[in-house]
Amino acid sequence: MPRLAITPGEPAGVGPELLAALANSDLPADLIAIADPDLLRAAARASGLALDIVPYIATEYVQHRARGSLRCIDIPLRSASHAGRLDAANAAYVIDTLSRATDGCLNAEFDALITGPVQKSVINAAAIPFTGHTEFFATRAGVNVVMLLATPALRVALATTHLSLRNVPDAITREGLIATLSILDRDLREKFGIATPRIAVLGLNPHAGEGGYLGREEIDTIIPAMEILRAQGMQLIGPLPADTAFVPEQLALCDAVLAMYHDQGLPVLKAQGFGEAVNITLGLPFIRTSVDHGTALDIAGQGKADPSSLIAAARMALQLVNTSRTKAAS
Ligand SMILES: NC(=O)C1=CN([C@@H]2O[C@H](COP(=O)(O)OP(=O)(O)OC[C@H]3O[C@@H](n4cnc5c(N)ncnc54)[C@H](O)[C@@H]3O)[C@@H](O)[C@H]2O)C=CC1
Ligand SMILES: NCC(=O)COP(=O)(O)O
């Protein structure tokens, strides 16, 4: 039975109550929370959800049922947590949960990891350099990764992730684009079963640079990288002007879009499918999915948080585990 680990993320955010909601949903897997059990119990109570925490025993596999029962690896909070109130004292707790989860994925104790949202700012406020889960797992695993967000109708990958907009152009390099597109192309084949993926690549500048009159990144960096990959057989479209790349006629021609930076691609995806999108880290030696939203401190602890994206992330993780097992068996 696939064993899925799940971290709730920021303890003052909506993550803990979303885990309680997931515990009350059907998922044909062994589901293991990595969290403070009292935090999860309090979040469930505040949301009016049943939650029975069962200590994790690694040698036992238990099929999760939608009865509010959740197996849990106990990682204690560093300080009492209050919904909606950030506390830098708990940043180390968040990192503890992610570290335990990563170790378990890297040593095959878990088949996949699902993450709840973290508050990147409060981790940094605790003097722990942290830009996101994606970069954290990439560093721990020592690999290049790609952030992909997917709804049933649209897949958007990012050439750069969590960095200041001012630093984006310098972060886009030929080598980086070749690595990113190679991971994206491979995982669209292997994880999503698309035999010949068609990837639309966005330009960085307005009108994809307007022939060099509105910026040279397309001519100097993006097109040369695409030509190298096209020569290897990759089906690449573009570079396309980002403002018209997402019209339905264009999207019908591709299986995924590669955006050059976070807010070039994700607003379109979230406008179209917020709540049902899943964030998938491609390129890792393990499967990792996550929600499409943040910590939602404004509604935490009020029973208002929608668990749809976490449930979608868990189902996607399970689907990816089953796909990789089928491939390994064939
Ligand atoms: N996977 C992750 O760890 C992610 C973490 N974040 C972090 O979250 C923090 C807050 O980010 P924001 O930009 O404010 O975005 P946010 O997604 O937390 O909130 C934006 C709006 O969406 C609502 N919302 C979010 N999730 C919801 C849910 N499940 N149900 C109902 N309403 C929901 C919030 O109440 C708020 O009005 C930041 O520190 C950011 O870094 C953001 C995105 C992903
Ligand atoms: N906007 C996506 C996001 O912030 C999630 O990033 P990560 O923490 O999954 O790397």
Q: What CATH code would you report for 145-283? A: 3.40.718.10
Q: How far is CA 206 from CA 71, 199, 215, in A?
A: 50, 20, 8
Question: Which H/E stretch holds residue 168?
Answer: helix 168-171
* Atom from ligand 1 closest to the CA of residue 310: 29
The residue extents of the domains of the chain are: 1-143+284-329, 145-283
CA of 90 to the centre of ligand 1 (A): 18
To the question of whether residue 64 is assigned a binding role by annotation, the answer is: no
CA of 299 to the centre of ligand 2 (A): 19
Give the pLDDT of the chain (330 residues) as one tens digit per residue: 999 999 999 999 999 999 999 999 999 999 999 999 999 999 999 999 999 999 999 999 999 987 899 999 999 999 999 999 999 999 999 999 999 999 999 999 999 999 999 999 999 999 999 999 999 999 999 999 999 999 999 999 999 999 999 999 999 999 999 999 999 999 999 999 999 999 999 999 999 999 999 999 999 999 999 999 999 999 999 999 999 999 999 999 999 999 999 999 999 999 999 999 999 999 999 999 999 999 999 999 999 999 999 999 999 999 999 999 998 888
CA of 159 to the centre of ligand 1 (A): 22
Same fold, 1-143+284-329 and 145-283: yes
CA gap 84, 305 in Å, rounded: 12
CA gap 177, 169 in Å, rounded: 12
Assigned token pair, 62? 């238990």
Domain 1-143+284-329 has CATH 3.40.718.10: yes
